[in-house]
Homo-oligomer: A and B are copies of this chain.
Amino acid sequence: MIRKSKCVNKALDKAIPLCEPALKIREAMRYTLLSGGKRVRPMLCLAACELVGGQDSTAMPAACAIEMIHASSLIQDDLPCMDDDSLRRGKPTNHKVFGENIAILTVDALIALAIKHTVEGTSLDVPPARVLRAILEMAKAVGTEGLVAGQEADLAGEAVVGAIMGGGSDEEIERLRSYARCVGLMFQVVDDVLDVTKSSEELGKTAGKDLIAGKLTYPKVMGVEKSKEYAEKLNKEAREHLKTFDSDKVAPLLFFADYIAKRQN
């Protein structure tokens, strides 16, 4: 796992070289993209590619693209007119370092680079129709069906992209989509439960926000205990969708589902 995350970091570093012209934008892109993070998303993508019998290298450009899109969403979320955060992973946020205008341009630049990198970086052995399908998934993940709508519903959608790049069958791709939906929904349920059961200190963010905002949450509708049961049921269901795959290769995806189920903040 650590070896793979290093490969991802190397590939990301290579994807935005600090070449001429030494644009401030490029610096700003690298600042957030290469500032650490567990690279969970690219790893899910690579794991799903292997799961359906593909090579790591086939999905690597798409995996990097996914991390670029993720980085762009972090920069955007931190903006003054959004969450107005000044720290991210212990470092000043992008707009604090580069200014709000550069930060906003960096968001677009990262989304554009994600698409460009997938088209240009993917091996010519991969059928264009497959690349096109993966790009469609990414565009949906950014657009009104995804990030823009504030949806985490397809949190593990990276697995779908990986399966497409790896040449998975329609059935395999759909099974991974079902897995992703379960994980995404589970994330939301767990998030709602944590909001009412943990203190602000434990969460590292303001607790009870949903209550104050009058948001319709799972605990509110079905109570805390039933919500916890529902999350557990979703975790089981997510695992169920992976059942027919090679048990050796399925470990990272199972691990991810468990990680989402058991998180405490």
Q: Which residues of A contact B (CB under 8 A)?
A: 23, 25-26, 29, 72, 76, 79, 81-82, 99-101, 104-105, 107-109, 111-113, 115-116, 119-120, 127-129, 131-133, 135-136, 138-140, 142-144, 146-149
Not counting A25-B149, A112-B140, A119-B136, a sample of 9 additional A-B residue pairs whose C-beta atoms are within 8 angstroms of each other reads A79-B104, A112-B148, A115-B115, A116-B136, A119-B133, A127-B128, A128-B131, A128-B132, A131-B132
Shortest A124–chain B CB gap in Å is: 10
A29 / chain B contacts, CB cutoff of 8 Å: 144
Report the Cα distance A146→B113, complex, angstroms: 11
Copies in the complex: 2
Q: A144, B104: Cβ atoms under 8 Å? A: no
A131 / chain B contacts, CB cutoff of 8 Å: 128, 132
Instruction: Give the residue name and chain of the B residue nearest to A141 (CB).
Output: B112
Contact of A115 among B26, B105, B139 (CB under 8 A): B139
Contact A149:B23 (CB < 8 A) given known A76-B104, A81-B100, A104-B104:
yes
A23 / chain B contacts, CB cutoff of 8 Å: 144, 149
Report the Cα distance A13→B237, complex, angstroms: 40
A148 / chain B contacts, CB cutoff of 8 Å: 25, 105, 108-109, 112
Highest count of chain B CB atoms <10 Å: which of A81, A105, A108, A147: A108
Shortest A219–chain B CB gap in Å is: 23
Shortest A152–chain B CB gap in Å is: 15
A76 / chain B contacts, CB cutoff of 8 Å: 104-105, 108
Q: B147, A119: Cβ atoms under 8 Å? A: no
Contact of A109 among B101, B129, B136, B144 (CB under 8 A): B144
A129 / chain B contacts, CB cutoff of 8 Å: 128
Contact A120:B108 (CB < 8 A) given known A25-B149, A101-B82, A144-B23:
no
